[in-house]
Structure 1
Amino acid sequence: MPDSQFPNPLDLEIDLLLGMRCEDSLKESKLQELGISFGTAKDIAKQVDTKLQFGRDQFENLRRILDIDPGSGENPTLSYRLNLWPDFNFVVTSESGHWSMARFVRAADAPAPDLSAPGNLEPWSVCIQDLESEFPTLRCTDAFPPWEEFIFEDLSGVRYGADFSYGLLQQIEVLPGKQSPM
């Protein structure tokens, strides 16, 4: 992307991808599908990050990247379907011009995930809301947006730890021992 060109939706997707807490091999695989090297992706992400720095123009710059007309209202929200994660919408809420929330949520027309075996869930297959609806014990144990960590138990009492970036699953693991319901 030349310096004079404003980032586009794919550039934003690359930036989000590089910022995720998942295995680099997953990132590299997705970049290969796009025909983009890791080095080029890093350059693109730097340019996107420059446009999306925290500040009063952050949300409007996002709108510009996504080619969305400016909305009205003091605390607007936008929802955008990105190509790399087609079952999800990227939802961003603005407060005073900066992002107050940015998270992937399952698109209404996307199929519901199979949550019968949480330990087998693949990265990017579920969002936080998917687990919230199925596992009432889900609770956040650490959050530094856009990264969050949760624990929960399934109906048989098996405990899981799940890491998310922008509300999208990055990894899940079975935790040692059983625990009574939280």
Structure 2
Amino acid sequence: MGGMPPAEPASAAPFTPLDFQLVLLRRMADHNADLVEDARHALGASAALMREANRRWQAMRHAPRSRGAVARYRSILGEPESVTPRRIGDLSCEAHLWPVPLWPDLRFEVLVAPGGVAWNEWLVRAPGAPAPALRTPDDLTPWSCTVDEAARAFAPARPLEGSAPTRWGLAFTAPAGPDASDGVRRECVAEFTWGLLQRVTVRGPSW
């Protein structure tokens, strides 16, 4: 019989930059459902499409013959915007950066160690983009900053193990208010998903 060919199954379709952005959002929905909903609408994607993108992402990552992280990101996002040598302590690596249309001032960074092993994958501020002013816990609003920006602003910050591979935490003290001269500081715990701030828990004062 003639007629139109059958539609390609969603699972067989190429995994696109849109799908990848939906994967980032899916992990953030646990903390900021309203922000994720607005972002999903801005991308023109349904909740079902976001769930399917996340399902396919997990299947790719755990496939028996899964390609390496860098090759996977290149196949989805194309060639990186930049590849820069980086030295972190005694480790020499390369920072691969890709633009993320949903957050124009951010880049998705993959740190690649010698041998091609990716040991960190998260969102960072784009080179040349202005960093947010972070002085008190009130400045730490959802999606306002990245892990490294919060760590620098409230040094010394102590890294905390996240509840999932894409989550990180920081513990630090911060001035209780804009007048830091009173010496009152509060203990804070900031939680990040894919390197982007999701929420902050502020505890009692620490003198």
Give the TM-score of the pair, scaled to structure 1. Answer: 0.83
1:83 & 1:130 partners in 2: Cα distance?
A: 20
Q: 1:2 aligns with which of 10, 24, 27?
A: 10
**What displacement does 1:13 show?**
0.8
1:128 corresponds to: 147
Q: 1:105 aligns with which of 112, 121, 124?
A: 124
Structure 1 residues 49, 77: CA separation in 2 closer, same or farther (over 3 Å shift)? farther
Structure 2: tracts of 5 or more residues without a match: 1-8, 84-92, 176-183
Structure 1 vs Structure 2 CA RMSD: 2.6
Identity %: 27
With a CA cutoff of 8 Å and minimum separation of 6, indicate the structure with the bigger relative contact order. 1
- Give deviations 1:108-163, integer Å, cap 9, x for gaps: 22122021232342211100111122211311233343111222112441222210
2:96 & 2:61 partners in 1: Cα distance?
A: 15
1:148 correspondence with 2:159: no
1:133 & 1:23 partners in 2: Cα distance?
A: 24
Structure showing greater Rg: 2
1:87 correspondence with 2:96: no
2:26 corresponds to: 18
Give the TM-score of the pair, scaled to structure 2. Answer: 0.74
1:52 & 1:86 partners in 2: Cα distance?
A: 26
Structure 1: tracts of 5 or more residues without a match: none
Question: How many residue pairs align between the two structures?
Answer: 177
**What displacement does 1:98 show?**
5.3
1:160 & 1:129 partners in 2: Cα distance?
A: 16
